[in-house]
Amino acid sequence: MKENKIKQVNVKNSANSNYTAEDITVLKGLEAVRRRPAMYIGDVSTRGLHHLVYEVVDNSIDEALAGFCKNIHVYINNDGSVTIEDDGRGIPTDIHAGEKRSALEVVMTVLHAGGKFDKHSYKVSGGLHGVGVSVVNALSEQLEVEVKREGKVYYQKYRKGDPAAQVKVIGKADSGKTGTKTTFIPDGSIFKNRTFKFETIAERLRELAFLNPEVTLAIKDERKNQKQEEKFHFKGGIMEFVKYIDSTRPSIMKKVMYAKGEAKDENSRTVEVEIAFQYNDQYNENIFSYVNNINTHEGGTHMVGFRTALTRTLNNYAYKNGLVKEGGVQLTGDDFREGLTAVISVKVPEPQFEGQTKTKLGNSEVKSIVESIFGPQLFDWLEENSPDAKRIIEKCLRAAEAREAARKARDLTRRKNAFDGGGLPGKLADCSINDPEHCEVYIVEGDSAGGSAKQGRDRRFQAILPLKGKILNVEKARLHKILENDEIRAIFTVIGAGMGETFDASKIRYGKIIIMCDADVDGSHIRTLLLTLFFRYMKEIIELGHLYIAQPPLYKIKKGKQEFYAYDEEERDEIIKRIKSEKKGKAEKEEKPEKSEAVEEGAVVKEGGITISRFKGLGEMNPEQLWATTMNPDTRTVLQVSIENAADADRTFSILMGDEVEPRREFIEKNAKYVRNLDV
- List residues with catalytic annotation: 445, 518, 520, 522
Q: Report whether 676 contacts 523 (CB < 8 A).
A: no
Between 87 and 679, name the residue whose CB sits nearer to ligand 0RA.
Answer: 87
**CB 547 → ligand 0RA: shortest distance, Å?**
36
Options 56-64, 200-208, 353-361, 456-464: segment touching ligand 0RA (CB under 6 A): 56-64
562-566 and 512-516 beta bridge pairing: unpaired
Residue 630 DSSP class: I
**CB 186 → ligand 0RA: shortest distance, Å?**
18
Q: How many residues bind ligand 0RA (CB under 6 A)?
A: 11
Q: Report whether 341 contacts 245 (CB < 8 A).
A: yes
Between 122 and 492, name the residue whose CB sits nearer to ligand 0RA.
Answer: 122
86 in contact with ligand 0RA (CB under 6 A) = yes
Between 37 and 132, name the residue whose CB sits nearer to ligand 0RA.
Answer: 132
Q: Report whether 483 contacts 409 (CB < 8 A).
A: yes
Which of 8, 14, 46, 60 touches ligand 0RA by CB under 6 A?
A: 60
Instruction: Locate all alpha helices (DSSP H) within 246-356, ordered by sequence.
Output: 301-320
In the window 153-192, what residues touch ligand 0RA (CB under 6 A)? Answer: 180
As beta bridge partners, residue 145 has 156, 182
Name the burial class of residue 7, with classes exposed (0-12), middle (13-18) and buried (19+) by CB atoms within 10 angstroms of its CB: exposed
What phi and psi values does residue 81 have, to the nearest 5 degrees?
-95, 165
**CB 62 → ligand 0RA: shortest distance, Å?**
7
Compute CA 421 distance to the chain's CA centroid, rounded to the nearest angstrom.
39
**CB 43 → ligand 0RA: shortest distance, Å?**
24
Q: Report whether 204 contacts 55 (CB < 8 A).
A: no
Between 62 and 648, name the residue whose CB sits nearer to ligand 0RA.
Answer: 62
Residue 336 DSSP class: G
Name the burial class of residue 603, with classes exposed (0-12), middle (13-18) and buried (19+) by CB atoms within 10 angstroms of its CB: middle
212 in contact with ligand 0RA (CB under 6 A) = no
Options 41-49, 85-93, 361-369, 600-608: segment touching ligand 0RA (CB under 6 A): 85-93
Mutual angle of helices 386-420 and 365-384, in 10-degree steps: 120
Options 89-97, 202-210, 226-234, 260-268: segment touching ligand 0RA (CB under 6 A): 89-97
Residue 579 DSSP class: H
Tell me how far apart the alpha carbons of residues 454 and 528 are, in angstroms, rounded to a whole number: 23
**CB 69 → ligand 0RA: shortest distance, Å?**
7
**CB 220 → ligand 0RA: shortest distance, Å?**
18
**CB 213 → ligand 0RA: shortest distance, Å?**
19
Which of 91, 467, 575, 649 touches ligand 0RA by CB under 6 A?
A: 91
Options 81-89, 185-193, 499-507, 603-611: segment touching ligand 0RA (CB under 6 A): 81-89
**CB 299 → ligand 0RA: shortest distance, Å?**
30
Between 60 and 278, name the residue whose CB sits nearer to ligand 0RA.
Answer: 60
Between 28 and 119, name the residue whose CB sits nearer to ligand 0RA.
Answer: 119
Tell me how far apart the alpha carbons of residues 470 and 488 are, in angstroms, rounded to a whole number: 10
Between 216 and 248, name the residue whose CB sits nearer to ligand 0RA.
Answer: 216
Interacting residues of 268 by C-beta distance below 8 A, sequence separation 6+:
none
Tell me how far apart the alpha carbons of residues 678 and 2 are, in angstroms, rounded to a whole number: 10
**CB 63 → ligand 0RA: shortest distance, Å?**
4
89 in contact with ligand 0RA (CB under 6 A) = yes
Residue 280 DSSP class: B
Q: Report whether 483 contacts 417 (CB < 8 A).
A: no
Between 181 and 395, name the residue whose CB sits nearer to ligand 0RA.
Answer: 181
Strands (DSSP E) found in 428-544: 440-445, 462-467, 512-516
> What residue type is assigned to position 311 of the chain?
T
294-295 and 257-264 beta bridge pairing: unpaired
Options 19-27, 59-67, 605-613, 636-644: segment touching ligand 0RA (CB under 6 A): 59-67
> What residue type is assigned to position 31 of the chain?
E
**CA-CA distances (angstroms) from residue 463 to 2, 9, 494?**
23, 31, 10
Tell me how far apart the alpha carbons of residues 12 and 24 are, in angstroms, rounded to a whole number: 12
92 in contact with ligand 0RA (CB under 6 A) = yes
Which of 119, 231, 468, 584 touches ligand 0RA by CB under 6 A?
A: 119
46 in contact with ligand 0RA (CB under 6 A) = no
Q: Report whether 426 contacts 493 (CB < 8 A).
A: no
462-467 and 440-445 beta bridge pairing: parallel
Options 86-94, 257-265, 449-457, 470-478: segment touching ligand 0RA (CB under 6 A): 86-94
**CB 92 → ligand 0RA: shortest distance, Å?**
5
Between 180 and 654, name the residue whose CB sits nearer to ligand 0RA.
Answer: 180
63 in contact with ligand 0RA (CB under 6 A) = yes
Between 170 and 587, name the residue whose CB sits nearer to ligand 0RA.
Answer: 170
Interacting residues of 293 by C-beta distance below 8 A, sequence separation 6+:
58, 61, 129, 208, 211, 212, 345
Options 55-63, 377-385, 393-401, 468-476: segment touching ligand 0RA (CB under 6 A): 55-63
Q: Report whether 62 contacts 122 (CB < 8 A).
A: yes
> What residue type is assigned to position 282 of the chain?
Q
Between 119 and 670, name the residue whose CB sits nearer to ligand 0RA.
Answer: 119
132 in contact with ligand 0RA (CB under 6 A) = no
82-86 and 71-76 beta bridge pairing: antiparallel
For the chain, give me the number of helices (H) and strands (E)? 21, 27
Q: Report whether 131 contacts 13 (CB < 8 A).
A: yes
In the window 430-489, what residues touch ligand 0RA (CB under 6 A)? Answer: none
**CB 86 → ligand 0RA: shortest distance, Å?**
5
88 in contact with ligand 0RA (CB under 6 A) = yes
**CB 108 → ligand 0RA: shortest distance, Å?**
10
Q: Collapsing DSSP states into helix, strand and coil, what is residue 289?
A: strand
In the window 253-312, what residues touch ligand 0RA (CB under 6 A)? Answer: none
Between 69 and 202, name the residue whose CB sits nearer to ligand 0RA.
Answer: 69
Q: Report whether 616 contacts 446 (CB < 8 A).
A: no
In the window 391-430, what residues touch ligand 0RA (CB under 6 A)? Answer: none
286-291 and 340-347 beta bridge pairing: parallel
Q: Which residues bind ligand 0RA (CB under 6 A)?
A: 59-60, 63, 86, 88-89, 91-92, 117, 119, 180
